[in-house]
Amino acid sequence: MKTLRLALLALAAPLLRAEEVKRPNIVFCFADDWGRYASCYAKIDGRPSLNQVVKTPNIDRIAGEGVLFRHAFVTSPSCTPCRSSLLSGQYFFRTHLGAILNGAQWDSAIPTYPLLLRDAGYHLGKSFKVWSPGTPADAPYGGQKHSYQKAGGRYNNFSESATAMVKAGATFEAAKAELLGEVRGNFQAFLADRKEGQPFCYWFGPTLTHRAYEKHSGVALWKIDPDALQGKLPSFLPDVPEVRADLADYLGECQAWDAGIGVLIAELERRGELDNTLFVISGDHGMPGVPRGKCNLVDHGTNVALIVRGPTIPGGRVVDDFVNLMDLAPTFLAFGRVAIPSVMTGKSLLPVLRDEAGGQVDPTRTWVVTGRERHVAGAREDNLPYPQRALRTKDFLYVRNFAPDRWPLGSPKFTGRADLPPAEKLEQATYTAFADMDASPTKAWVIGHFDDPRYRWIYDLAFGKRPAEELYDLSKDPDQVKNVAAEPAYAATRERLAAQLLDVLKAAEDPRVGPEPVKFERPPFTRQGK
């Protein structure tokens, strides 16, 4: 009966209902490199985590009044491919040159939800980042003609901007208020441009949680004690003072992100628009500059926050359904009562959102597929990718590495202690070594301890070459550090998941499982190709 109800809701989603004469506004808050760090997640983590330290009251409010997704994943843990997927409602590998980071070009023949909503009468606008790096800038959103940023962009680099203002004599509260005033001004300018009664679609995409941020700003600005993080790091991050201090800085940016969201909420409330607004919060992949984070197919790289509040959505629920961020495009179109293009591989979340149940709502949403091709140019010789695909279920993560002879995060560029780059360079210059991991104090510390027997396993797990197959038993290994793919006891599971992954990729027309030569191995995706 429940399955039938969900199916009927899905069919009825695009249709005008008597009780929904007014189409909802859409506000999408999408932070660069945010991951899954909000205090509302501390309640469902089930074990010690950084979410016990970070404070995000505005995000928590939206979660309490809406739906908190436990298992939301990106299709690719890299900025541009993730955004290509989200905007198009398709797997990243179907977006041509949108499937890579450096060198990305948008194919204007691919339909995107913002332009479809605009053509259906929505007022369209954005502040800060939508789609980049890539050309033309923010193309899937209609270019910069829909940009609203004249009030200022310093919030985009919150810790650097606030630190400079404090050094010049301002209090932190005054500096924060000034920076948040720019967020308010940009949003107000966007709202002022719409026609009376016109629904709007606004993208709020700051990059403050992206590297780099001001060192020690977590303590100096937000009073986050690095020692409060002790015992709360995943096992693959060294629980040492230098790393804890780095993560405290990151959590400070997460709190600044929350403050910006609070500005949007307050402005919508002031105008009486909040209750007719689909308010969505998420990020494009996991934490940058740390082992197993950004550019990795384990959860630390792909599992992100997703929180949704809006009209006709029963709130106060935690949902366990597996969802992919490409599902947001058809979801936004369904709420806007716009036809969903058949080319979209994402599946609207509207039936799940409108259900009153928590836990597993849609019995078919029990897995997601993620993947990766190329992040930064020059990480490997000839700009070669590191091709991966993964299947994540409730109990297992299966990863297929198509080129295990290559370096997963780029070449080391050093051979031993004698030519090891200085820590300062590893902190500040991403291309110094392993270029697919952002420069950071954590990266510098792990590389600097590559020959320390106590931490060698962390270094190898972060940067070492990987076998063709990886399998992680999540009930025994929630941090996903022990690969059991070669163990006889898991042979049947590995074969079953490998077959399921292959079936999904073939159905989605992934070039990696199509005819040779694979296009991702040839120009313009690479310099020479094979």
- Looking up tokens 């063709």 gives 468
Residue 15: pLDDT band with limits 50, 70, 90: very low
Confirm whether 457 is domain-assigned: yes
pTM of the model: 0.94
Percentage of the residues of the chain whose pLDDT score is greater than 90: 92
Give the angle 469-475-480 at the CA atoms, nearest 5°: 45
Which pair of structure tokens corresponds to residue 86? 């989200």
Together in a domain, 214 and 160: yes
- 3 state DSSP class of 201: strand
Confirm whether 527 is domain-assigned: no
Mean pLDDT of the chain: 94
Together in a domain, 377 and 273: no
Q: Identify the burial level of 412 via C-beta atoms within 10 angstroms of its C-beta, where 0-12 means exposed, 13-18 middle and 19 or more buried.
A: middle
Together in a domain, 332 and 447: no
Confirm whether 60 is domain-assigned: yes
What per-residue confidence (pLDDT) applies to 272?
97
Low-confidence winner among 101-110, 139-148, 396-405, 498-507 (lowest mean pLDDT): 139-148
Residues in Cβ contact with 355 at an 8 Å cutoff, skipping those fewer than 6 apart:
5, 6, 9, 314, 361
Q: DSSP for 248-285?
A: HHHHHHHHHHHHHHHHHHHHHHHTT-GGGEEEEEEESS
Together in a domain, 383 and 488: yes
What per-residue confidence (pLDDT) applies to 144?
86
Of 326, 357, 388, the residue that ends a domain is 357
Together in a domain, 301 and 153: yes
Render pLDDT for 49-98 as a digit per residue (tens, 0 to 9).
999 999 999 999 999 999 999 999 999 999 999 999 999 999 999 999 99
Residue that wins the pLDDT comparison between 8 and 373? 373
Render pLDDT for 34-54 as a digit per residue (tens, 0 to 9).
999 999 999 999 999 999 999
- 3 state DSSP class of 105: strand
Question: Can you list the pairs that 227-232 forms with residues at least 24 positions away whose Cβ atoms lie under 8 Å?
Answer: 228/53, 229/50, 229/53, 231/48, 232/48, 232/49, 232/50, 232/52, 232/53
Residues in Cβ contact with 432 at an 8 Å cutoff, skipping those fewer than 6 apart:
413, 421, 425, 426, 439
Which pair of structure tokens corresponds to residue 54? 């970070």
Together in a domain, 440 and 330: no
Confirm whether 530 is domain-assigned: no
Together in a domain, 167 and 240: yes
pLDDT of residue 447 exceeding 90, the answer is yes
Together in a domain, 351 and 411: no
Of 306, 329, 357, the residue that ends a domain is 357
| Beta sheet of 396-401, edge-to-edge order | 367-372, 388-393, 396-401, 469-473
Confirm whether 349 is domain-assigned: yes
Look up the CATH number of the domain holding residue 256. 3.40.720.10
Render pLDDT for 343-370 as a digit per residue (tens, 0 to 9).
999 999 999 999 999 999 999 999 999 9
Which pair of structure tokens corresponds to residue 473? 């038993």
Confirm whether 353 is domain-assigned: yes
Q: Identify the burial level of 104 via C-beta atoms within 10 angstroms of its C-beta, where 0-12 means exposed, 13-18 middle and 19 or more buried.
A: buried
- Given a contact cutoff of 8 angstroms between Cβ atoms, the answer to whether 429 and 423 are in contact is no
Averaged pLDDT, 317-340: 98
Together in a domain, 146 and 282: yes
Averaged pLDDT, 196-218: 96
pLDDT of residue 17 exceeding 50, the answer is no
What per-residue confidence (pLDDT) applies to 27?
98
Together in a domain, 207 and 332: yes
Residue 384: pLDDT band with limits 50, 70, 90: very high
What per-residue confidence (pLDDT) applies to 528?
62
What per-residue confidence (pLDDT) applies to 515?
83
Confirm whether 160 is domain-assigned: yes
Segments forming the whole domain that contains residue 480: 371-521
Together in a domain, 333 and 428: no
pLDDT of residue 10 exceeding 50, the answer is no
Together in a domain, 167 and 308: yes
pLDDT of residue 1 exceeding 60, the answer is no
Number of domains the chain contains: 2
What per-residue confidence (pLDDT) applies to 516?
81
Distance in angstroms (rounded) separating the CA atoms of residues 284 and 78: 7
